[in-house]
Amino acid sequence: MPAGGKPTVRSRRLGATLKRLRINACLDQEHAAQAVDCSTAKISRIESGAVSARIGDVRVLLDLYGVEDEAERRRLEQLARDSNKRGWWLNFDWITKEAGFTDFVTLETDASYIRTWQPLFIPGLLQTDDYLRTLLSSGLTVHSPESVEEVLAVRRVRRGLIEEDGARFAAIIWEPALTAPMPSAKVHREQLLHILHVAQRQNVQVQVLPMAEWRAAHLSSHFVMLSFGPEPAPEAVAYDTSTSTVLVEDLAEMAAHARIFEALSAAALTPDQSLAFVRKALASIPESEKEAE
């Protein structure tokens, strides 16, 4: 049984992938059960994520389903190893209290591609500590100094996911999120400088959607699209509400979000043009922007 006595997001991902591979191979659960010498009920529980598949069973099933791609086999074997592994995020109590956020952080940690559209805020993985502090202090919820530091500590770990040679990261940001005055000119400047710095990495791409591209900007509210294999085909989409993080794994929904992201990318400035835009925005931050005390 996965940790906690219920399916984990990793065991669900592994089970769903094994089920898809079995169906593609035109085999039923009885064939799979015979191959690993277990009951069809166990295969059903593996495919639902209710139990974690052993690495040896995963290898047998991949042989049965004709999966020869070594990278894909290694990825699924690693997923089996990690299904019950304690995540670093469980060291932070507030994460487990945020509905859906534990599953999102698990997926984000495992992702090979992270693509995000943000019309209102700087994307989370690009936020500086001071920008995040400003957001937290501007909300209706009153945060204790201890909880703020914990949120910042989590964000620092998450930012490490897109260090050089990390996950491939693509962000599209609507112009107002970058240019609208912030409570502190210093925070504003440091945030734009940070974006310019991170965007130099080979695995990071930042695009700015100009203000004039109103139609494209209203194709969708914000979202994060995640992929886990060598190809960027989306396998999960996430977005925040005021109280929770919602995860979408429906194939039609993911395909729709992929089309939206492509349309946004086509309407946005190129990466080089976008960095030039950010530099110009940085230079134009007025000294008169109100400094927060």
Whether 248 is covered by a domain: the verdict is: yes
Distance of alpha carbon 152 from alpha carbon 253, whole angstroms: 31
* 199 & 276 share domain: yes
Domain membership of residue 58 as a residue range: 3-82
Tokens 């591209």 sit on residue: 213
Which of 82, 98, 126 is the last residue before a domain boundary?
Answer: 82
For residues 147 and 77, state if they share a domain.
no
Task: Provide the domain count of the chain.
Answer: 2
Q: Could you tell me what percentage of the chain is helix, strand and coil, using 3-state DSSP and rounding each to the nearest 5?
A: 55, 10, 35
CA distance 43 to 90: 29
116, containing H or E segment: strand 113-118
Query: What's phi and psi for 199, nearest 5 deg?
Result: -70, -10
The runs of H, that is alpha helices, within 67-128 are 70-82, 93-97, 101-110
Output the domain CATH number for residue 224: 3.30.870
Residue pLDDT, tens place only, 225-244: 999 888 888 989 999 988 88
**How high is the pLDDT of residue 278?**
98
The pLDDT score that the predictor gives to residue 93 is 74
> Bridge partners of 240?
245
Average pLDDT over residues 128-154: 88
How confident is the model over 93-110, as pLDDT tens digits?
777 667 678 889 989 999
Looking at the structure, do residues 239 and 161 belong to the same domain, yes or no?
yes
Residues 184 and 276 in one domain: yes
**pLDDT of 140 strictly over 60:** yes
Task: Return the number of other C-beta atoms located less than 10 Å from residue 107's C-beta.
Answer: 23
Residue where one domain finishes, among candidates 24, 48, 82: 82
Residues 6 or more apart whose CB falls under 8 angstroms from that of 243 comprise: 99
Residue 292 lies in a domain: no
Same-domain status, 52 and 194 = no
